[in-house]
Chains A and B, each alone.
Chain A
Amino acid sequence: MYDVFKREIEVLENAEELLISGKLESVKDIEHYQCLVQEYKGLLNQARRLVKIADLMELKLKHIYQGLEEISNTDFLTNLFNRRYFEENLKKEWLRSLRLDLPLSIIMIDIDHFKEYNDTYGHSEGDKCLQNIAGIIQKSIKKQNGLAARFGGEEFIILLPETDLAEVRYLAELIADNIARLDLPHRGSPIYHKVSVSMGIASLRVKEDITQDILVKMADDALYLAKAEGKNCIREYA
């Protein structure tokens, strides 16, 4: 196995060879040389420990850095990614889709009558509702190469690379079904007194003359339409 102190070991071996070679004649010289060799050995061991300690410290810093990175990318309440991380990835995926000529899609989700939910059950229950919906979204896109983030208060966004309109439609239906199956009561909502969501979906093939904000705007417009048309539904950007 390679030793990082290979050269130092060679120096020690050479020094020990010299000691037994008989080239050093006087006893005093031999003793003096032996002392130096011993001291060098001690310092070499110390150097090994210093490097090990430095490695331990660096590893600790690396772990701290990873932890901070995770915190800076995550929405504290829902554990989904945060908007900043979403925007960063949208930019990356936009460029990749352009380079490889792949479709790129977005689903925007808004919890219906969420203000009324908070008013009825209180903010603490409102937070739990957000966590439940976030959990369903995360579970629903598990098999997809998607990135789900909390976009705003009660608004979520999913970035779906390499996904066309047919696939994104299917996925939005799946999320709606899973939320309906959750069967969360909502006394303040006129929609069956249950928690429901409105969704806007948009899909396109990336071109050079447009920017990534267009896709978000398209999904947002579709979501606006879903809300305007009675909520608890999915609308596509057309």
Chain B
Amino acid sequence: MIIILSSALKLQLGGKKMDKLLIEKTESSPYVCFDAGKNFLIIQGESFPENAAKFYTPVLDWLHAYLQTIKQEEVVVEFEIIYFNSSTSKIFMNFFQMLDEAVATGKNITLNWRCNEENETAIECGEEFKEDIEYLPFNIVLFKGV
């Protein structure tokens, strides 16, 4: 797992400095790129790390800190996950819960669950995740090809 925390990308947000979180994709873990400067967060690939809690700790920590810094700016979060294990799905639920609570308190966040139009499993999983949240706008976005 490679975590690149580029000091050049440090930003001044709400009086706090946020690094860009960049984790390169591996065979068992997804590409993560959380860009506070662009208010664009993306998780892409497959997720079945041996220790999902360990892998996602910096991701959830970053999100928690980021949610403290934002106000009304438009934030887009994208998930494009082909395959994930059970521990990952629980972590995703916790992730969406954090976003849901932030939206409940007035933050402007949208989540796009992106999947190939032929991947019925990913679509159905997206629908299940959507059921679990209350306030967060949760769009299932279908695309063709790869």
Distance in angstroms between the alpha carbons of A203 and B85 in the assembled complex: 51
CB within 8 A of A50: which of B89, B121, B124? B89
Interface size range of chain A in the complex = 10 to 19
CB within 8 A of A54: which of B86, B124, B132? B86
| Inter-chain contacts of B90 with A (CB < 8 A) | 50
Given contacts A52-B128, A57-B83, contact A46 B121 (CB under 8 A): no
Interface size range of chain B in the complex = 10 to 19
User: Is the CB–CB distance between A56 and B121 below 8 Å?
Assistant: yes
| Inter-chain contacts of A59 with B (CB < 8 A) | 121
Interface residues of B: mostly helix, strand, loop or mixed?
helix
B45 to chain A minimum Cβ distance, whole angstroms, is 15
Please encode chain A, from 44 to 59, with 1 for each CB lying within 8 Å of some chain B CB and 0 for all others. 0110011011101101
User: Is the CB–CB distance between A49 and B131 below 8 Å?
Assistant: yes
Distance in angstroms between the alpha carbons of A54 and B92 in the assembled complex: 13
B33 at the interface (CB under 8 A from A): no
| Inter-chain contacts of A45 with B (CB < 8 A) | 132
Distance in angstroms between the alpha carbons of A45 and B132 in the assembled complex: 8
Distance in angstroms between the alpha carbons of A38 and B132 in the assembled complex: 14
| Inter-chain contacts of B121 with A (CB < 8 A) | 56-57, 59-60
Inter-chain pairs besides A49-B128, A50-B89, A56-B121, 7 sampled, C-beta below 8 Å: A46-B93, A53-B129, A54-B86, A57-B83, A57-B84, A57-B121, A57-B125
